[in-house]
């Protein structure tokens, strides 16, 4: 396939988050991707985590995902909360940005830039567990984001 054919084929693709996973995997090895993680709290206290596998490593993580093409941060937060947790969240606040070049604490392939937002869960979810301290088996890059989040929301 020559360059012109590749360009035409890529033009046919649906943007993230609907992009074919195999094509997305190739692209994330070529360009930095923008991710969004949710520091979910509830009125009773604590922060929410879920089990996730990133690369070859499994552990506790913040709910998150990649931002879609032309998607606002708010819409991405709402979509991720609904998809990952099946709930609505409110009081979205930007906390910090993290740069994860390939080979950093983030065990996945590719370079990601992650935006961390805090929010409040409006209902219970079976897809998340709440903690008051960071669990031992938290993914390394999520531990970094949690430590920052805990400093900024308390």
Alpha-helical runs (H) found in 28-136: 73-80
Nearest CA to 107 out of 136, 138, 81, 85 is that of 138
**Residue 30, by phi and psi: left (phi above 0), alpha (psi -120 to 50) or beta?**
alpha
pLDDT per residue as tens digits for the range 101-126: 887 888 777 899 999 999 999 999 99
pTM, 2 dp: 0.89
Query: With 80 as the cut, is the pLDDT of residue 154 above it?
Result: no
Dihedrals phi, psi of 41, to nearest 5 degrees: -120, 170
Domain 32-153 sits in which CATH superfamily? Nucleoside Triphosphate Pyrophosphohydrolase (3.90.79.10)
Q: What percent of the chain has pLDDT over 70?
A: 100
Whether the pLDDT of residue 41 is over 90: the answer is yes
CA dihedral (25, 27, 32, 33) positive or negative: negative
């Amino acid at each position: 396939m020559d360059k012109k054919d590749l360009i035409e084929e890529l033009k046919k693709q649906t943007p993230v988050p609907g992009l074919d996973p195999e094509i997305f995997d190739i692209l994330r090895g070529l360009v930095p991707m923008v991710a969004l993680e949710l520091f979910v709290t509830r009125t009773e206290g604590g922060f929410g985590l879920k089990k996730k596998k990133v690369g070859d490593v499994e552990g506790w993580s913040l709910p998150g995902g990649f931002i879609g093409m032309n998607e606002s941060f708010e819409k991405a937060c709402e979509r991720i909360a609904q998809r990952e947790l099946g709930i609505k969240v409110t009081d979205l606040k930007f906390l910090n940005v993290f740069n994860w070049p390939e080979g950093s604490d983030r065990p996945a392939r590719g370079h990601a830039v992650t935006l961390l937002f805090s929010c409040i869960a409006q209902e219970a979810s079976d897809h998340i567990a709440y903690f008051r301290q960071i669990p031992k088996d938290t993914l390394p890059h999520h531990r970094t984001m949690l430590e920052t989040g805990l400093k900024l929301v308390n």
